[in-house]
A and B are shown apart, each in its own frame.
Chain A
């Protein structure tokens, strides 16, 4: 009797639990859209070093002090952050109200980020770098998907001591990049380091493509990266590694971290790196060349174009606390916040007025570096934000590696990638 009873109880309990688990989320969803004042938002934010947790803690605490809204946040590095956001967006998750994002990956997220045009007035947006606003805007709808937090553009960092000893100047052209690199390459020392894997390889190819006068797509979104300019760019990229041998032979396995490490460990005499590197290269605990480096503009070829992209923050379209999330976004891009971010990480401000302010206050090498960055950003570009281009990027990354590792000629690699990219863009409805 007692056994039968306990069975029934067990089954009853199990069914109640199952029913609770099934109905709970719906009840929570129904009750979630409360009309009361929002006291807490959730954010998925980017980290990239020891100082980021303290920085975000400072920003979110100041925001709470000012607004009374607590920000609960999780920190992830760039790649896992993107993977997690893809999963959350696919699931239409309401877990986070605010996402960190970046120009490079924003194309996939346009339908999943709340348009910000109603939260920022045009006069305020006009202060941001146009290139940042342009590539964070959905070209199909004209809606701003994220607010730029800091600009990402690359600079040539070089070893002042080695260059002086060899009697050479930083390269200003592709030809000089080869000749200077060869002068500084000998006995385990290399003249240059480049990334050669994944998204960083595509980024490097993009710079060479634009500098050779090429483009990714034409006005109708037809693939053009396999044009003669594209082939010239990829051939030059490959030859730096395989023919001129001015880089370590295994750069085809390097991403950003290995690229920076090649410079900070003293093996390579020059590197193209992001603004954040200015601070880390000068930190003796992170760099063996902290007092030996200087900066110069990126070399040019037919054009001097390089990438100008940005980190930003966006509001989850499925968030039920959009107004509070928008307040947080505005708080993180005030001129004061951008100055603070520059002081902390040397992150180049996304507002033109703030960039001018920090540049005018800087002196010597730092002033010159900021001025060079400004030139790069004003002339900068980003790859297209059309449907399907994320997949095209993966195809191009493989093609670039195939050419860099001499598995295919640059022409053959780019032609194969172009054929597949055309099919991808057709399927995505991007071809006009």
Chain B
């Protein structure tokens, strides 16, 4: 028996040595895609990062290295502080409106009320509209001379609001337009999340006589946390990239009253023809959004770890 086993032909060793390792095959097959990604994604990202340390305009053939000057110029200039404040207000206000409003609408739509089914379809429309179209539409809606919104306010006996020309209202107008377009996206996300919640805890709460608000606050919301976190992440990334709506409604004005980081970067690049400072603004925006995302991602994990350690 043993002899017969010994006499069985063995797999040729030389053949194994000719076989390409799996990892190498994998990387080789992925190489064209990786190469393409490096060319179209990482190269421009790296190039713009390098650009942010140089004087880079059309006026001179040379681009001298400036160190951190482009960054320090931003913080010592007259307008960047206000732009940063606007970005924070715009991001926080938009998130609050969209998440609270989105959750409220999602809860309403997930109820058994009649006649709400068409609303789900209608909700798809705003996110499908191009932001540039939204910007133009709201520019006309908020127009002080011919706009629909002020016309309605006046008809109701209320004073007309200088939506786009008043420094206080300009940023509010932009937030409203952005929320109109993006809240429905969160409604759809939350709606999917609500439908995935198991029925048992809700039924148990009903048996225990918990109020609707108590059920929502203590059961629905904790179970929806992963969906809310994902929604927040998507929206934070988007809010730091918002450009079209602001540009078409106010161009960041009056003055800098509704200026955001992307608008500032565009003005620096295509009006001031100063690519070095424009790249620096873009990287400030990128770092800020990464910071917020890291906090959003890290805090719940840290809290969970501490809570586990405390329980142990």
Report the minimum CB–CB distance from A288 to chain B (whole Å).
14
B57 proximal to A (CB < 8 A): yes
- Is the Cβ of B270 less than 8 Å from the Cβ of A401? no
Specify which of B57, B73, B162, B274 is in contact with A249 (CB 8 Å cutoff).
B162
Specify which of B165, B167, B272 is in contact with A391 (CB 8 Å cutoff).
B272
- Is the Cβ of B255 less than 8 Å from the Cβ of A86? no
B121 proximal to A (CB < 8 A): no
B53 proximal to A (CB < 8 A): no
Chain A 398-428 interface residues, beta-carbon cutoff 8 Å to B: 398-399, 401-402, 404-405, 407-408, 416-417, 419-420, 423, 427-428
Complex alpha-carbon distance, A112 and B32, angstroms:
36
Q: Chain B, interface size: which category?
A: 35 or more
With contact pairs A390-B271, A390-B273 given, residues A111 and B254 touching in the complex (Cβ less than 8 Å): no
Chain B 269-283 interface residues, beta-carbon cutoff 8 Å to A: 269-275
- Is the Cβ of A111 less than 8 Å from the Cβ of B271? no
- Is the Cβ of A198 less than 8 Å from the Cβ of B251? yes
Specify which of A11, A90, A394 is in contact with B58 (CB 8 Å cutoff).
A90
Report the minimum CB–CB distance from B303 to chain A (whole Å).
42
B164 proximal to A (CB < 8 A): yes
Over the window 259-277 of chain B, the binary record of Cβ atoms lying under 8 Å from chain A Cβ atoms (1 yes, 0 no) is: 0000000011111111100
A197 proximal to B (CB < 8 A): yes
Specify which of B32, B55, B255, B271 is in contact with A405 (CB 8 Å cutoff).
B255
With contact pairs A11-B28, A250-B143 given, residues A111 and B60 touching in the complex (Cβ less than 8 Å): yes
Specify which of B31, B58, B60, B269 is in contact with A109 (CB 8 Å cutoff).
B58
- Is the Cβ of B274 less than 8 Å from the Cβ of A391? yes
B11 proximal to A (CB < 8 A): no
- Is the Cβ of B32 less than 8 Å from the Cβ of A407? no
With contact pairs A89-B58, A249-B162, A420-B78 given, residues A14 and B253 touching in the complex (Cβ less than 8 Å): no
- Is the Cβ of B58 less than 8 Å from the Cβ of A111? yes
**B257 contacts across to A, CB distance below 8 A:** 405, 407
Specify which of A107, A252, A427 is in contact with B55 (CB 8 Å cutoff).
A427
Complex alpha-carbon distance, A251 and B251, angstroms:
14
Complex alpha-carbon distance, A354 and B31, angstroms:
63
B61 proximal to A (CB < 8 A): yes
A388 proximal to B (CB < 8 A): yes
- Is the Cβ of B270 less than 8 Å from the Cβ of A405? no
Complex alpha-carbon distance, A394 and B274, angstroms:
11
**A82 contacts across to B, CB distance below 8 A:** 270
**A428 contacts across to B, CB distance below 8 A:** 57, 59
- Is the Cβ of B166 less than 8 Å from the Cβ of A398? no
With contact pairs A11-B29, A86-B270, A390-B273 given, residues A250 and B162 touching in the complex (Cβ less than 8 Å): yes
- Is the Cβ of B78 less than 8 Å from the Cβ of A416? yes
**B271 contacts across to A, CB distance below 8 A:** 199, 390, 393-394, 397
Report the minimum CB–CB distance from A392 to chain B (whole Å).
9
Closest to B160 in A: A249
Report the minimum CB–CB distance from A242 to chain B (whole Å).
11
A7 proximal to B (CB < 8 A): yes
Q: Chain A contact residues: over half helix, strand or loop, or mixed?
A: helix
**B218 contacts across to A, CB distance below 8 A:** none
Over the window 181-195 of chain A, the binary record of Cβ atoms lying under 8 Å from chain B Cβ atoms (1 yes, 0 no) is: 000000000000000
Complex alpha-carbon distance, A387 and B274, angstroms:
11
**A17 contacts across to B, CB distance below 8 A:** 32
- Is the Cβ of B59 less than 8 Å from the Cβ of A14? no
Specify which of A111, A250, A394 is in contact with B61 (CB 8 Å cutoff).
A111
Specify which of A109, A407, A420 is in contact with B167 (CB 8 Å cutoff).
A407
- Is the Cβ of B251 less than 8 Å from the Cβ of A250? no
Closest to A399 in B: B255
Specify which of A251, A394, A408 is in contact with B267 (CB 8 Å cutoff).
A394
A141 proximal to B (CB < 8 A): no
- Is the Cβ of B59 less than 8 Å from the Cβ of A387? yes
Report the minimum CB–CB distance from A365 to chain B (whole Å).
29
Closest to B277 in A: A391
- Is the Cβ of B58 less than 8 Å from the Cβ of A404? no
A23 proximal to B (CB < 8 A): no
- A–B Cβ pairs within 8 angstroms, 22 of them: A7-B29, A11-B28, A15-B32, A108-B57, A108-B273, A111-B61, A248-B145, A250-B144, A251-B165, A252-B254, A267-B145, A390-B271, A390-B272, A391-B268, A394-B268, A398-B255, A401-B253, A402-B255, A405-B165, A407-B167, A407-B255, A428-B59
Give B contacts to A, CB under 8 Å: 25, 28-29, 31-32, 35, 55, 57-61, 73, 77-79, 143-145, 162, 164-167, 250-251, 253-257, 267-275
Give A contacts to B, CB under 8 Å: 7, 10-11, 14-15, 17-18, 82-83, 86, 89-90, 107-112, 196-199, 248-253, 267, 387-388, 390-391, 393-395, 397-399, 401-402, 404-405, 407-408, 416-417, 419-420, 423, 427-428
- Please provide the 3 A-B residue pairs with the shortest distance between their CB atoms, ordered closest to farther: A405-B254, A391-B272, A402-B255
> Given contacts A252-B165, A428-B57, could you give 16 more A-B pairs where the C-beta distance is less than 8 Å?
A10-B29, A17-B32, A197-B251, A198-B251, A199-B271, A253-B165, A253-B250, A253-B253, A253-B254, A390-B274, A391-B273, A394-B271, A401-B254, A402-B255, A407-B254, A407-B255
